[in-house]
Structure 1
């Protein structure tokens, strides 16, 4: 993967996660302690991100650096999900379980159709 393609891929993951959290670029940049202009250029892949900045962005977006850099989930990501799940009562947790099951079935169905 070229340096430019990697920057774009990382930027795209940052963009998707920021949108999942409902943050504007300004809000995400502020949470990360970075300028809005720098955050914007990283998110669009026009600028490479240094290690110290990727750590700040990962913390601000509540994901692991592994996810932003590699697209893979690690224990940090799992712990974040577990923390969210621990706040649900029994009924809410079982409702979410059904949602997850249906989501996985839909993914499986879509993947089968593409083959």
Structure 2
């Protein structure tokens, strides 16, 4: 649910993007229904995260590859801007 909301998706939009029903998304988010592996993969793809992230909340290499693919679509200037943002976030997090 957190990832869906961060992406600004409604349950309906996620269901459409993931080729599942809205009811399925609702049940999955509330823990009322277990996901079959194929549906877990559909949802993780629609949310642009690994299935491991959805199951455990842990960032794995696949999540980093997804970010890397996104960075490849940016111009060199945009990549430098993202890098500066990351550096600033690291500075803020290290101050705490």
For structure 1, list consecutive stretches of 5 or more residues without a partner in the other structure: 1-14, 111-115
For structure 2, list consecutive stretches of 5 or more residues without a partner in the other structure: none
Match of 2:5 among 15, 19, 24: 19
Q: Distance in 1 between matches of 2:62 and 2:95?
A: 29
| TM-score (norm: length of structure 2) | 0.85
Aligned residue pairs total 96
| TM-score (norm: length of structure 1) | 0.73
Residue 56 (1) aligns with residue 30 (2)? no
Kindly report which structure 2 residues correspond to 1:35-54, keeping only aligned pairs within 5 A, or say none. Answer: 35-54=21-40
Q: CA RMSD in A?
A: 1.5
Q: Distance in 2 between matches of 1:68 and 1:61?
A: 9
Higher RCO, 1 vs 2 (CA within 8 Å, ≥6 residues apart): 1
